[in-house]
Amino acid sequence: MIPIKVLVPSGVLGLGFDLEALNNGVKNNPDIISIDGGSTDSGPYSLGSGKSKYSRAAIKAEWKSLMIAREKVNVPLVIGSCGTCGTNGMVDWMENITIELAEELNQKIKIAKLYCQQEKNFIKKKFQLSKIFPLNPAPMLNDQLIEEMTNIVALAGAEQIQECINTGAEIILAGRTTDTAIISALPLMKGADPGSSWHGAKVVECGALCSTNPTSGVVMVEFDKTGFTVEPMSKNAFCTSETVAAHMLYENADPYILHEPGGYMDVTYSNYYNIDKKKVRVEGAKWHSSKQYSVKLEGAKISGYQSSLLVLLRDKKYVENVKKWTDKLSKFLKKEINDRMDIDTSEYSLEFRHIGLNSTLGELEKNIRIPVEVGVLCLITSKNQISTEIAKLINPFLLHFPLSLNEELPTFAFPFSPVHSDRGCVYGFALNHILELDNPMDAFQIEISEV
């Protein structure tokens, strides 16, 4: 069965890929097509709300190309972390899209769904049994925090994806999964070198980002008993030993070690060399199995309800004194909010950011100069949905607040009507923990359907 070829169309479904390169990949007879569907990279909103970051239309258009490609080669098509966050609802959302497409394309397929979402009571029980451990750094876990979370998922690894492959499903829709497991699962099953299976998966998890032409998307990785070979499928993309090796640095705190369910891989002694202009061969990664099987947990909770206002200052005196102005204004507003609304400062946060001065880096900014204008972004986050009312109270003062008492009332620039924007519910990541399991499937469920 070895070698095993895995076709990776792009770093994530929704980002786009080169169709010609996808066709080249199909012509090279892959044994499986694997694509990631999610990440925490865009922040906690997706997991908190259980919604996809990308539009349904973009997902459907790209998934259609992949379902057509899959039918041509008749191999499994796997997506991990459906709908960005990989909740059960997002697996079902992806199934809904798949069913629509199967009807449009007149395809008859067997689907395996891997559910990775965790019940709060299950997590509470595991926490009480000391089966949940914090990584560094991690929020302090307790029953109340578990209760506050809107969604909790466990990251599936190769074992759970292999269970799905073993069902004989043509399409596998997985909930939250490590980026690499959807790629390493098949080569590991078929006896490829374990260290290289994980290393190769890590190299191509962002598609053609390991090549000279990242936006072309499509790459093929071939695994065998001693290593792997990676090749971009676009005619305008090339892999070099440097582009491939450099990918271990990307989004990785440690450039040599990658933790996965069931162990970790170490690439300290890996060798990278070009076979030809396009292909790179890699050998030498080591896999270390852990005694205790564990999976990583992700969770998000509601941080509050947020409203924002933006005001533009062009008057030189105010631009030069903007920090002093917002400090005075903030103090004044907190008193007004307390007097008029009877809301204590512990119930909300009020923050001013100075766009043009240091709104990107905050206190770390070293290079503050006086600009021609400043945007003042006012952010109100409250425990309940009162942030809108607070924003409305702030509105006239943001427009007219004077620096000194004996001056004519200033009027600044509001770019919008209404001035405030309700950002609704905002979320925060609440877990950076691992969950120990006796059996890899203990926190996961598979459902099969046919269309």
User: Which spans of this chain sit near other proteins (rule: CB under 8 A)?
Assistant: 40-45, 135-139, 242, 245-246, 249-256, 303-304, 306, 349, 351, 353, 359-364, 366-367, 379, 381, 426-429, 432
How near is the Cβ of 107 to other proteins at its closest, in Å? Answer: 37
CA distance 255 to 252: 6
| C-beta closer to other proteins: residue 134 or 418 | 134
| C-beta closer to other proteins: residue 106 or 136 | 136
Angle between helices 194-204 and 181-189 (to 10 degrees): 150
How near is the Cβ of 140 to other proteins at its closest, in Å? Answer: 13
How near is the Cβ of 297 to other proteins at its closest, in Å? Answer: 12
How near is the Cβ of 154 to other proteins at its closest, in Å? Answer: 15
| C-beta closer to other proteins: residue 75 or 239 | 239
How near is the Cβ of 364 to other proteins at its closest, in Å? Answer: 6
| C-beta closer to other proteins: residue 126 or 433 | 433
| C-beta closer to other proteins: residue 98 or 118 | 118
| C-beta closer to other proteins: residue 137 or 415 | 137
How near is the Cβ of 53 to other proteins at its closest, in Å? Answer: 12
| C-beta closer to other proteins: residue 24 or 307 | 307
How near is the Cβ of 425 to other proteins at its closest, in Å? Answer: 12
Pick from 77, 44, 47, 46: nearest CA to 62: 77
